[in-house]
Amino acid sequence: MRNRLLQAFREILYPSYCLVCHVKIPMGDSKGSICQRCRDSIIPFNPPFCRKCGRTIKKAAFGENLCGECETIHFFFERAWTGYPYEDTLKEAIHHFKYNHKPSLGSFLSGLLIRFVSDYHIPLTQCDYLIPIPLAQAKLREREFNQARVLAINLSRHFGLPVVDNALYRRRNTASQTGLDRSSRWKNIQGAFGVNNQEAVKNKRVLLVDDVLTTGATASEAARALKGAGAQAVFVVTIAG
């Protein structure tokens, strides 16, 4: 009783506002920093999914299950699963999560990812373990947390797969991929990853975890490093794409 009263006072004194649309979040909405309306506006990709990048195929020709982009690009991963379109509410939520030190959004975003994986029966548990896409040391110091690691830990808790975060590393601090055009993104990220624990990787089926799959260049380069170290297969899961 006393706790509930205290909580009510706290909500009156410090009301919380939706990070995306800025409306006041009603009392008792324990989900926190994104309002119900914004949460409901995030709709997952619909099948048919591209068998390589996981995004919805807009116009599937009979028997085709690759999107236009994946027909021309070679990815080093076997396939990616991407939950939701990277736009509007979700784009803003991910931005707050990454750049404005809003780690509290991590559980909301992880929840979205878990829901997608469960609803579409994505066979994550066929992998041996999860690897979050690592940040370069300098970026990790600046941001203080790795958003991909937060997602990986929450996925791991939910699906019972271990997280291995001492096998893959960033060799160098690449320029941000944001704002680069398609071909610069591929060039910028080339050779950015290394493996420092071959034993952990050899003959394993690895699931890479990241927040967003844009061109797929980052995930593909990470997969290239893992395959080079003997990984049997590399899959990718991201919230948005």
* Alpha carbon of residue 71 to chain centroid: 23
CB atoms inside a 10 Å sphere around CB 217: 23
As measured in angstroms, the least distance from the Cβ of 6 to Zn ion is 26
Q: How far is the CB of 23 from Zn ion (least distance, A)?
A: 6
State the Cα–Cα distance between residues 137 and 160, nearest whole angstrom. Answer: 28
Beta 79-84 vs 193-195: how paired, if at all? unpaired
Contact region with Zn ion (CB under 5 A), list: 5-13, 27-35, 184-192, 225-233: 27-35
Tell me which stretch binds Zn ion (CB under 5 A): 63-71, 76-84, 104-112, 198-206.
63-71
26 Cβ contact list (under 8 Å, min separation 6) = none
Regarding 70 and contact with Zn ion (CB under 5 A), the answer is yes
Task: Compute CA distances 135 → 140, 155, 165, 193, whole Å.
Answer: 6, 19, 11, 10
CB of 229 to Zn ion, least distance (A): 26
229 binds Zn ion (CB under 5 A): no
Which span sits near Zn ion by CB under 5 A: 38-46, 136-144, 164-172, 225-233?
Answer: 38-46
**Least distance to Zn ion from the beta carbon of 43, Å?**
15
Q: Which residue has the tokens 């800025």?
A: 22
Is there binding between residue 47 and Zn ion (CB under 5 A)?
A: no
Residue 39 within binding range of Zn ion, rule CB under 5 A: no
Q: How many CB atoms are closer than 10 A to CB 241?
A: 24
- Choose one: 16-24, 112-120, 162-170, 224-232; the region binding Zn ion (CB under 5 A): 16-24
CA distance linking residue 158 with residue 131, whole number of Å: 15
Pairing of strands 193-195, 168-170: antiparallel
Angle between helices 88-99 and 105-119 (to 10 degrees): 130
Minimal distance in Å, beta carbon 30 to Zn ion? 15
Under the criterion CB under 5 A, does residue 21 sit at the interface with Zn ion?
yes
Number of residues that make up the chain: 241
Query: 53, 114, 213, 239: which one contacts Zn ion (CB under 5 A)?
Result: 53
Q: Kindly report whether the peptide bond that precedes residue 123 is cis, defined as omega within 30 degrees of 0.
A: no
CB of 50 to Zn ion, least distance (A): 3
Whether the Cβ atoms of residue 54 and residue 45 lie closer than 8 Å to each other: yes
Tell me the site size for Zn ion, rule CB under 5 A: 10
* 20 counts as binding Zn ion under rule CB under 5 A: yes
Please tell me whether residue 38 binds Zn ion under the rule CB under 5 A.
yes
Judged by CB under 5 A, which of 42, 67, 189, 226 binds Zn ion? Answer: 67
Q: For binding to Zn ion (CB under 5 A), which residues are involved?
A: 18, 20-21, 35, 38, 50, 52-53, 67, 70
